[in-house]
Structure formats: C-alpha cells, structure tokens
Amino acid sequence: MEMISRFRDKDIVKLLLENIFKETETDKIYNIMEVCGTHTMSISRFGIRGLLPKNVRLISGPGCPVCVTSQGEIDMIFELLKYNDVIAAVYGDLMKVPGSDGRNLLDLKAEGKDIRVVISPLDVLKLKNEQKKGVVFISIGFETTNPATAGLIEVIVNQGLDGFYILTLNKTMPEIIDILLEDKELNVDGFLCPGHVSVMTGESLYLPIIKRNKAAVITGFEPVDILYSILDIIRQINCKNFFIKNNYGRVVNSIGNEKANGLVYKYFEPADSIWRGVGTIKNSGLKIREQYKYLDASERFGLHPSDKLEIDGCKCGEVLKGKILPNKCNLFGLMCTPENPVGPCMVSSEGACAAYYKYEI
Amino acid sequence: MNSTTMMLGGGGKATNDFIKNYIIKYFGNVYLNDLRDASKLKTNGNISFTTDSFVVKPEFFPGGDIGKLAVYGTCNDLAVSGAKPKYLSLSLIVSEGYSLENLDKILNSIKLAVDEIDVKIVCGDTKVVERSEEPSIFINTTGIGELVVDLNNYNNINIGDKVIITSDIARHGLAVLSERNELNVDTEIKSDCCNLYKIFEHVGYEGIKFARDATRGGVAAVLNEIKEHSNKGFLIEEDRVPVEEPVKYLCEFLGFDMLEIANEGVAVLICENDKAEEMVGKLKELEIAKNARVVGEVTDSKKVLLKNSYGGIRVVEMPDGNLLPRIC
Ligand code: SF4
C-alpha cells in the first residue's frame, strides 16, 4: 500500500496541477487520448478530468478488452453454451455483457448453464476435477493478459490434460493504434500509453505515434502517474518535440518482456480479428497454432463469429475510437445503464461508458 | 444419525426429538418451552418488526458463521431503526444430508449471539428439503423490538448534518469471498459481524437523526438509498472513511470499490452537526466502534459525492449488486 500512497500524495498532486495550469497555453486545445481502459477508470475515479484546465481534454480510447470484442464474437460464447454441455470459465467483466438477444451470461447461469468466474486462467485447471464436462476458457484480453492464456496452454500441453479448450478472442494493440493515427477526423495530440501493455511490448509499440508528431508517454495508474504524464504531453506539444517517454519505469522496461512474448507466440500466431464498431483488422488478433489446434474451442465446437454489428443505437465504436464522449451516445444513462447495458462499454469494469456513468459528476 | 434426513422435517417423532434435543436445549425460555402454536408476547408501546433470510455460503467464514449472522443481522436492523431487540423467530431450511455436527455448531453460535444481545427466540420452524448439490442450510429470522426512537425517518435529515461511520468497512464481504476461495489470495481478514445495539446502549440516541447498517451493497448502497428517499445529497471525504490497510490493498488489487463491499457490523449514523465529534469520541470507547469517524456531511446536491485528498470529486453510484473482479 505504501507503494500506492506515494503515487497518491496530495502535495505532489497539487504541485503537478499547478504546473499543468502554468504551462497550458490558453489559446490551444490539448487533445489527449488514454488508450487503456484502466486509465479511463482511474481518471474518472480520482476525479482528474475536473481538476484539469478546460482546454486539456482527455479522450477515452479503445483499451478495454471486453469493449472491443465484437458482437459476433460475444454471440459465439452464447452459441457455445446453447449447444454444448460444457463449463465456461470467464472473467467477471463478461457476465453482464449482452448477447444479440439482450440476455447476458448471468441470465444463462440462472437457466442452469455452467458458467464460472475466474480471476486468472490457471484457476481454470481447478474446474476440471469437479465434473467430467469439457471446460472452455473464454480468453479475452490484450498484450497484458495474452501471456497468461499462453501460460494456461503451456500447462495443459505439458501435463497432457484432457478436456480443456480455449476460445481465443484476444487482440493486440499495434494495429488499432495505426488505425487511430490514420484517422483524419481524430485530432489527438498525445497519448497516455497503457502501462500494463507496455510491460509486455516495451516502448517500440509507440514509435508510429511520435513519427506522426504526437506525444507518447507510458503511464502508470495512480493520480501522480497520470498527472505527471499529462504534464509531459503538454510540454511536448508546446515545444513540438515529440518522443516516447516512459513514466512507468518502475514496472516497464524499454524492450518489454521477451519471455512472455515468446510464450505467446509459441502457442499463438497473428490472425485477423473483428473489433467492435471498427470491423476486421488484419493481424490484430491471435489464433492457436496448428500444432495445438485440438485445444481451440472454435475448432472443437465449430464456432465462427458472425459479422453481426452492435445492437441498434449503440455507439461503442465511436466511443472506442474517441470520436464521441460516452455521454453523447443517445442511449447513455437512458436505455443503457450498468444494470441494463446495451453495449459492453457500459458494463466492463474498464469500459468508458461505465466510467462516465459511475464516476463523472 | 449424523446428518439430516427428510424425517427430521416430517412433523413426527424425529421432529419432536430434534426440537427437544436441539432447539429447546439451546434456546429454551418461558415463551418457547410451551411450544404453543403461537407465542404470547408482551411489549411496551410501539414495536419494530423485521425479517431477513440468510443464505451465505460457505456457512462458516473467518469471524463468524450463518447462525451468528442470522441473529445479528435481524437484531441490527432493529437496533438501527431505533429499537431494542426483544424477540426472534428462527426458521431453518436444511437440505437432507446436512451434517448434524455443523448444525449443532450453528445452533450453538445462535445461542451465544442471542444471549449476548439479550433477545429471546420465541418461535420457529424446521424444514428439510431434498438434496440437490452440496447439502446446505438457510436461516430466516424475524425480529420484534421495542421502539425507543424512530431512526428511520428521512424527514429528520437536514443539510449540514454529519455522517458517521461506526467502524472500518468492507471486512465481511472480503472475508466471505476469500473463504469461498474466489479471491485466490490468502487473507487474514475477518468478518466484522457484531451486535450494533451495543452502540445505542452506550451512546444513547441524543443527536442521532437517522441510522442504517451498511450490509449488502456497503456504504455506497446505504448513502444512495438515503439520498433517494430524503432528496438530499452527501459529500464524503475519502481519506476519512475508516478502512484497514489490508482491506484497502485487497480492494485495490482486485478492482473492488471498498464502499460497495458488504459489512455486518457497520452503521452509518446521521448526526446533528455540533454533536458529531463528541459522539465519535463516545463511540470509540467501544471495541466494535473504535474506528468510528465523521466522514462527511449532508448536502443539497441530490448526489452522493466522494472527494479525495486533492479535491478530485466523483460520484458514488448505487452498486449494481454484483461484485466481479476485473480482467487485468
Ligand atoms: S452508452 Fe451504451 S449504447 Fe451507448 S455507446 Fe456506451 S455502451 Fe454503447
């Protein structure tokens, strides 16, 4: 906890805010995107938006793994449970995400489907002993969580365990960052780069950002981290000198975690993936390698994502791409609330709509 | 016989034996011993009346068990509404195959709790249901208390009144979750399950305008409930909310909001502005309220707002009823 409290220190926060106010040029608008959902949550939870000068705008990006999962991919989970008597192991965030018919996994569980919430992929191994049904781990996540899924596969393979399957909905960051950078409408001047993802990827992931004269600052999740990085971005914009800065050096090194990446690509290969509200992005997902195909739930149970779009009116795609603020979606807070969500952005613990709904005044 | 069978709830000899050997043995008193169809009770003036069912799993957890919870839970509801708990009903629903040893442990724990609060069990019921999965036990208790002061009147709440939290928060929810092995971490956290009537016995009622215990949904749920019914708002200071370091750390780690986690021994008191600090001083004399704090005040904002140490303000929403750990 001491580790955390240093990064929440009142006096440091005050000092950083004073500097941000001092160095912000009033005739400029600073558009800063936080790529990561955990950043979005922290910003809202600590009330950071309200502490900044009006012309420093924080825009939420695509970094919530559940939110970027396309409707077609989510429907695959429902298909799996509809036709197969299996145990589905999922992360908690998924439980309230609605399928196309409006029902969620909590509804299915109440109907008797065997759905278990796990905190880490290795928890999945414990489920097998209880029953002789197949266990399917629904794997969702970015660079941060992908190695953990690979770790699960490694245990299954090494121990020759039977009856475990993985439904791989994992995605990777570089391709979506490219898309954001190419977007002419999206006028972002700098990025708060995701701390957790960077632990795995290192700094090189953000080279395209600075090549386009935008700031890239790798940032932790505490108020001091976030404000310090916002100040850095403001400084880079002011003097038009753009470089990758690592403000999360206590955790992130410049080359990333080669061992974890090695593990990921031992079991996975890049594959096209459908992103919610964006569409198919080449090589932005992961697929289990041919050699381990017998573990692939989509092969075993014949599942294919449909190209179903979001439920009518849901603007998740626009929110993910930073085009609109969550509260500008017509359904926000009316038809779409955390109890009655229309899109995953409203239920995932890292979703931008949820962050706005829950915390913003 | 070392586990329950359908016989036990059948109404015949087995039922009678159970009542004699367990229920009367533990809870016998002048109202119960006659085993009348309904008990004849005496109260003075207004009563408070409440009921609650307890389905906690597992039934034993660090700091308590379902039996203790079933007594404290209902009596605490009476206490925070301004009543002195007097009488309780006790209904057991057990599935066949439930271990009698565990049942005995639970009844013993109920006995200790009713003695501590000085409340009497005056009626009850036992049903055995067919076993489906793991044998389990559910308990319903209904309570009657003598109303001393009405602490549930929203009209008594005024802007400027202070909010007191009587103990550090979020222990019960985490203790139960970790006992269920759902957290994957070893914790030493114990449930705060305790008798809240002690608080009122000790500090009296003067200056307290409203009270509620922060059980399911935690402090966030209580404040939002009061907000809704009173049409007022709250400004709470995050730094003042009492919470133990390991609890805070675990919440951070798992992505839980400590304000949303269930308690069993925490009351939220709304107190007259100028009596609040004195009240906290008195509360601190009690072991169960040694961490009491004034945490904020009633405002006209019609929102529950939480202010952190550097002035950032966020909304505290009504929890949506599902504690789910985050993805990364
Ligand atoms: S408010 Fe709901 S419907 Fe609108 S974008 Fe967010 S999740 Fe989708």
| Interface predicted TM-score (ipTM) | 0.71
pLDDT at position B308 is 87
Task: Give the residue from chain A lying closest to B309, CA to CA.
Answer: A10
In chain A, residues with a C-beta closer than 8 Å to the C-beta of B310 are 10, 13-14, 17, 51, 223
pLDDT at position A131 is 61
The ligand 1 atom at the shortest distance from the C-alpha of residue A329 is 4
Of A321 and B68, the one with more pLDDT? B68
Q: Judge if the upstream peptide bond of residue B58 is cis by omega within 30 degrees of 0.
A: yes
Rounded to an integer, what distance in angstroms lies between the CA atom of residue A343 and that of residue A100?
Answer: 10
In chain B, residues with a C-beta closer than 8 Å to the C-beta of A120 are 184
Rounded to an integer, what distance in angstroms lies between the CA atom of residue B328 and that of residue B317?
Answer: 22
Confidence band, pLDDT 50/70/90 cuts, at residue A252: confident
Ligand 1 pocket residues where CB is under 6 Å: A 314-316, 319, 326, 329, 331-332, 336, 342-343, 345-346, 353
Least confident of A6-20, A150-164, A219-233: A6-20
Print the SS3 string covering chain A: CHHHHHCCCHHHHHHHHHHHHHHCCCCCCEEEEEEEHHHHHHHHHCCCHHHCCCCEEEEEEEECCCCCECHHHHHHHHHHHHHCCCEEEEEHHHHHCCCCCCCCHHHHHHCCCEEEEECCHHHHHHHCCCCCCCEEEEECCCCCCHHHHHHHHHHHHHHCCCCEEEEECCECCHHHHHHHHHCCCCCCCEEEEEHHHHHHHCCHHHHHHHHCCCEEEEECCCHHHHHHHHHHHHHHHHHCCCCEEECCCCCCCCCCCHHHHHHHHHHEEEEEEEECCCEEEEEEEEEECHHHHHHEHHHHCCCCCCCCCCCCCCCHHHHHCCCCCHHHCCCECCCECCCCCCCHHHCCCCCHHHHHHHHCC
Tell me what the mean pLDDT of segment A257-278 comes to. Answer: 91
Rounded to an integer, what distance in angstroms lies between the CA atom of residue B139 and that of residue B103?
Answer: 11
- Give whichever of A116-120, A241-245, B248-252 has the largest mean pLDDT: A241-245
Mutate to test the pocket of ligand 1, among A66, A319, A323, A349 (most ligand atoms within 8 A of CB): A319
CB contact A134 to B (< 8 Å): no
> A223-239 and A10-23 are packed helices; what angle lies between their axes, rounded to 10 degrees?
20
pLDDT at position A130 is 64
CB contact A123 to B (< 8 Å): yes
pLDDT at position B134 is 81
pLDDT at position A36 is 86
pLDDT at position A277 is 82
Neighbour tally for B119: CB within 10 Å: 24
pLDDT at position A65 is 86
* Chain A: closest CA distance from residue B186 (Å): 14
Mutate to test the interface with A, among B299, B310, B322 (most CBs of A within 10 A): B310
Q: What is the dihedral of CA A194, A198, A204, A206, to 10 degrees?
A: 0
- Report mean pLDDT in 10-residue bins for chain B, 328 residues: 80 85 91 88 91 92 94 97 97 93 96 96 92 87 96 96 97 87 74 95 96 94 96 95 90 84 96 96 97 97 91 86 55
Confidence band, pLDDT 50/70/90 cuts, at residue A45: confident
Pair A32, A189: CB distance under 8 Å = yes
Of B110 and A2, the one with more pLDDT? B110
Ligand 1 centroid to residue A129 C-alpha, Å: 39
- In this predicted structure, the answer to whether residue A234 has a pLDDT above a threshold of 80 is yes
* N-terminal to C-terminal alpha carbon distance within chain B: 49
Query: Which of A38, A47, A123 is the closest to B313 by Cβ?
Result: A47
Count of residues in chain B: 328
Rounded to an integer, what distance in angstroms lies between the CA atom of residue A53 and that of residue B328?
Answer: 30
Contact A338 B320 (CB under 8 A): yes
In chain B, residues with a C-beta closer than 8 Å to the C-beta of A21 are none
Task: Give the residue from chain A lying closest to B321, CA to CA.
Answer: A339
Residue B37 class from Cβ within 10 Å (0-12 exposed, 13-18 middle, 19+ buried)? exposed
Tens of pLDDT, residues B182-232: 666 677 889 999 999 999 999 999 999 999 999 999 999 999 999 999 999
Task: Give the residue from chain B lying closest to A90, CA to CA.
Answer: B327
pTM of the model: 0.81
Contact B312 A91 (CB under 8 A): no
Q: Which of A49, A68, A41, A65 is nearest to A281 (CA)?
A: A68
pLDDT at position B321 is 64
Mutate to test the interface with B, among A349, A350, A353 (most CBs of B within 10 A): A349
Tell me what the mean pLDDT of segment A348-360 comes to. Answer: 83
pLDDT at position A1 is 52
For ligand 1, atom 7, which residue shows the shortest CA distance? A343
Q: By percentage, how much of chain A surpasses pLDDT 90? A: 48
Of A215 and B183, the one with more pLDDT? A215
The ligand 1 atom at the shortest distance from the C-alpha of residue A352 is 6
Q: Which of A61, A106, A102 is nearest to A311 (CA)?
A: A102
Q: Which of A1, A14, A2 is nearest to A51 (CA)?
A: A14
Mutate to test the pocket of ligand 1, among A312, A321, A331 (most ligand atoms within 8 A of CB): A331
The ligand 1 atom at the shortest distance from the C-alpha of residue A345 is 7
